[in-house]
Every structure is written in structure tokens, then in C-alpha cells.
Amino acid sequence: MKSYRTCFLIRIITDSGIEGWGECVDWLPTLQKGFQERIIPYLMGKPVVDRAKMVQHIKKWHARSAAAVSMALTEIMAKKMGVSICDMWGGKFREKVPVYASFQSYSEDGSWQRKSLSDIEKAIRSGFDRIKVKVGGKTITEDQEHMVSVQAMLEGKIGLAIDANQSYDLAATLRWQSLLDHWPNLLWLEEPLKTDHITDYALLRSRLNAPLAGGENVETAAKFLPFLTEHALDFITPDPMHTSGLEGYREALSLSRLFGIRVTPHTYDGALSRLYALFAQACLEPWSKMEADAIEPVEWDAMENPFAELIPLSPSFGNITLPSGIGIGLELDVDRLAFYQWDGASYG
């Protein structure tokens, strides 16, 4: 279970005063040192139009820092053009994007199952029609008991995704088969195995009726290719903060469409990166010709997270209506950012 939250935000300002924000996660002292001593000096004086070259260069040093720089430079470029991010990317297919409520599930308290059910019930009452619950942090027996209780609450009316966070091997995952095969509201089983066990994923996909998802820590579109060519996943789950740059992230989305695989973005760690995932999903062509507006949902962290409120967006009945102004179309809550600013002290 996460016992604290961290998020590293950068702001790049051009000579003409146009600003853009970026976001990444890692150990804060490492990020601060890297930006102050290497990345900021490298960026000084370079033209925004060379953003792809700059992101590619920074990626060699630190992929997640490159993702943050990519966000900031993308926002600046859209503002220079006087258009929204989506317009700069070719326009939206839809004004709303579905989201699912994502839960950490566990706590150190002995009543963690009761707390988890209470959190899920609250999300459903607020209008979510899809949720994601964690397994793998307890014994399989405890987790299965929890999931049976969750399903009894959902009554088959709410879509359910299950995230195992790479906790199992093939044999352990198959112990879930008798339950998963009989849950018609199951959306997908996410990362039951280590993500580099591609052959085992392909075998598991042939054994389970449950759709399989994964790839939140895959850094480039090219590294998704083995999963796609081996038919190892039903959904890929790229994260714009874990992929080294927004262009690479969007390449992964397009690649999924070329292979006929669905994509449901992972966006648990930050509000700004989640906004970019929503923009990209809005610009992604539908996966199904049978439903013109069919688009896969984006993860929405439903746990306590003060950084989520940096971006003034909230779901309505499980959907986000996207801002349409220039750039990202809204302003970050800089007062909240200042309140939570890291003071350089050790943590963890």
C-alpha cells in the first residue's frame, strides 16, 4: 500500500513568456539534482520546435524526466499555435472519455476488506460504472474471499478489472480460473505475471476466458511489439508518465490499433499525465466499427491523493468532459502546489 504520495512538476517558460507544465515521478532528490545540474542547463536557449530532438536526448539520461519535458513543451507548442492539445494532434473523435475508479485495496488494518468495500461503494454512488481492484498483496485465499465480496456488491451491474501487479506465476494465476471464467462483468485481469514473461502470457491467454492487460511500465512503443506479435495481451496499458515522451506514448496507442488490440491507459501516479492520457484517448480512433464512439476507459485514481486536485476536472457518471481551451485548456492550482511543495527533507 502507498503510505505517501510524491509528484515532481516542472514549469518551462519561453523567452516570450509562454509556459508549459510537465510531470514525472521518481525519488525526489534524484529528480531535483538531475533537472538542476543537467536537464535545465541543456534546455536553456533551445527552440521549442526542436522538442522531439530534446526529448530524445533527455531520454538517454532519464526516461521519466523526458516524459515531463515532453508534456511541458507540447503545451507550449499548442499555445504558440493558438490551439488546444487535441487540435494540435489532429482533432478529437469525442468530447467525453470514460474513466474507471482505481483502488489500492489494501491497508495495514485488519479490517482492510471492509474498508475496501466501503471505498468501492462510495465510488459507485458517485456514478462510476467501472472499477479496478488490486489482488496479489495477500494470500490467494484472502484475495479471492475479498473479490467474491466485491462481486456480491456489484451484482454484475458494474464492470470489474482486477490488477495483480505482477504478483503471480502461471500456476498461481490459474488458481483464479474457476472464478474468472464465471464473472460476466469482468473487464480484464491486469499483469498477473512478470511483464517480461511474454510466452507465459500467451499461454495464459489461451487458457483463460478473462481478457489480459498489461504494460504500464513499458517505455517505448517498440517494446510493446512482442506482446502484440505473440498475441499475449487483449489490452495494453501504457502510461504517459512512464513512456519516454508523449509522441512515443501516442505511437503505442496507434500501434495497438494496427494490431487490433485495445488500449486502456494506466494513469495512477499523476493528474497532469492523466489529463494527457484523456486527450490522447479522445483523439484515438474507435476500436470497433459496430459502435461509432467506442473507446476504452482511462484509469482514475479514486484513493486519497491531494495532487489529483491540481487539475480542476472530476468525473460525471464515469466520464470526463474534456477542456477545449488553448493548450491544456485550464490552469493548475498553483496555491495547492505551493502548499505541498517538498522542502528537501528525507522521506519514505
Kindly tell me if the per-residue pLDDT of 291 is higher than 80: no
Nearest in space to 214 (alpha carbons), one of 256, 184, 174, 277? 256
The secondary structure of residue 286, as a DSSP letter, is P
pLDDT confidence of residue 193: 98
Number of H helices, E strands in the chain: 14, 11
Kindly tell me if the per-residue pLDDT of 293 is higher than 70: no
Kindly tell me if the per-residue pLDDT of 289 is higher than 90: no
Tell me the C-alpha distance between 64 and 148, whole Å.
37
Tell me the C-alpha distance between 49 and 45, whole Å.
12
Q: Quick: pLDDT tens for 122-145.
A: 999 999 999 999 999 999 999 999
pLDDT confidence of residue 309: 86
- The set of residues, in sequence order, having a beta carbon less than 8 Å from that of 18 and lying 6+ positions away, is 76, 79, 80
For residues 15 and 104, which has the higher predicted lDDT (pLDDT)?
15
Tell me the C-alpha distance between 104 and 195, whole Å.
20
188-206: average pLDDT = 97
| Chain-centroid distance, C-alpha 83 | 25
Q: Is 134 a catalytic residue?
A: yes
Tell me the C-alpha distance between 220 and 249, whole Å.
7
Dihedral angle over CA of 318, 277, 289, 84, nearest 10: 100
pLDDT confidence of residue 16: 96
290-314: average pLDDT = 88
For residues 44 and 306, which has the higher predicted lDDT (pLDDT)?
44
The pTM for the full model equals: 0.96
Does 8-83+332-339 match 87-321 in CATH topology?
A: no
For residues 106 and 141, which has the higher predicted lDDT (pLDDT)?
141
Q: Which of 79, 134, 146, 242 is catalytic?
A: 134
- The set of residues, in sequence order, having a beta carbon less than 8 Å from that of 273 and lying 6+ positions away, is 23, 67, 71, 239, 240, 241, 267
Every domain of the chain and the residues it spans: 8-83+332-339, 87-321
- Contact predicate 187/211, CB 8 Å: yes
Q: Is 194 a catalytic residue?
A: no
Q: Which three cell numbers stand for residue 3?
A: 503510505
Q: Which three cell numbers stand for residue 341?
A: 511543495
Q: Quick: pLDDT tens for 258-287.
A: 999 999 999 988 999 999 999 999 999 998
Identify the three-state secondary structure at position 21.
strand
Other Cβ atoms within 10 Å of 342 Cβ, number: 13
Q: Which three cell numbers stand for residue 166?
A: 505482477
E strands of the chain, at which residues?
8-13, 19-24, 96-102, 130-134, 159-163, 186-190, 212-214, 235-236, 262-263, 298-301, 319-321
What architecture is the 87-321 domain classified under in CATH? Alpha-Beta Barrel (3.20)
CATH of domain 8-83+332-339: 3.30.390.10
